[in-house]
Amino acid sequence: GEHRRSAAMRSAIHEALQQGVIALKGTEAPGVVRGGVALVGGGPGDPELITVRGRRLLANADVVVADRLAPPELLAELPPQVEVIDAAKIPYGRAMAQDAINDVLIDRAKAGKFVVRLKGGDPFVFARGYEELLACADAGIPVTVVPGVTSAIAVPALAGVPVTHRAITHEFVVVSGHIAPGHPESLVNWNALAAMSGTIVLLMAVERIELFTKVLLEGGRPADTPVLVVQQGTTSAQRTLRATLADAPERIREEGIRPPAIIVIGSVAAFGG
């Protein structure tokens, strides 16, 4: 009856206030600092997987500097007066230089704007978020960090694969595939990864998958180790591929898998099939 409708209305208003869809006149939403920057993790792709805090700050932004992997639906919701700056960060494609991104964040904040730096996943997982925090801090700009749901865990989960499972694996490691094994700048101990029995989650690894599977096989990982590949995870364009460590490179090329994609290696990768 009337009481139920009233309760539903109060709940809807409370949710809208929390998300920043509506604001109380004369008040600033929590976390909004004019002249400051918020590093916001946009989540793994599905716009509904951004945090409540992240969505609220985004709704109150004067300027949004967005990576390509930031959910585009979130940008489409922004009011027309919001300045949206495309930082691109396209894998193996065009990208705004990191120094230029830092300069934009600082310049807009110094102009008194509330700047949201919107990233895919979590801002501190292979996203250079801390570099941007340091640049802003050096310039005297206050920074708020809003963690995001990282694709390294969420994408496998929504494909039916947990990165850990009792009595199967008690460890998992997330590895950047941006630098090849053996490269002078590589900080990854690939021999240690090959020796572990747990789950390996590779990000940004599609272009060099032949190199990664080769080093893991040479290090002792069994050739029949299950592999799960998820392209465009958590979005309507999601594609999944199941393979083994031995045939993963060939299967990935045959199926035309392209970035962004998550590669899961280990016993749990056979789950959900």
Q: What is the dihedral of CA 181, 184, 189, 193, to 10 degrees?
A: -10
Please tell me which residue in 9, 62, 89, 103 is annotated as part of the active site.
Answer: 89
226's enclosing H/E stretch is strand 226-231
Instruction: Report strand pairing: 199-203 vs 261-265.
Output: antiparallel
What is the biggest distance separating any 2 CA atoms in the chain, rounded to whole angstroms?
70
Please tell me which residue in 113, 119, 122, 204 is annotated as part of the active site.
Answer: 204
Please tell me which residue in 46, 67, 113, 119 is annotated as part of the active site.
Answer: 67
Q: What is the rounded CA–CA span in Å between residue 137 and residue 132?
A: 8
Taking a C-beta distance cutoff of 8 angstroms, is the pair 161, 228 a contact? yes
Comparing CA positions, the residue from 157, 160, 159, 141 lying closest to residue 149 is 157
* Tokens 């809003």, located at residue: 146
Q: Is 122 a catalytic residue?
A: no
Q: Is 214 a catalytic residue?
A: no
Beta-carbon contacts of residue 83 (< 8 Å; ≥ 6 apart):
62, 63, 64, 108, 113
Q: What is the rounded CA–CA span in Å between residue 193 and residue 263?
A: 14
Which tokens hold the place of 139? 């310039």
Q: Is 89 a catalytic residue?
A: yes
> Which residues are known catalytic residues?
67, 89, 204
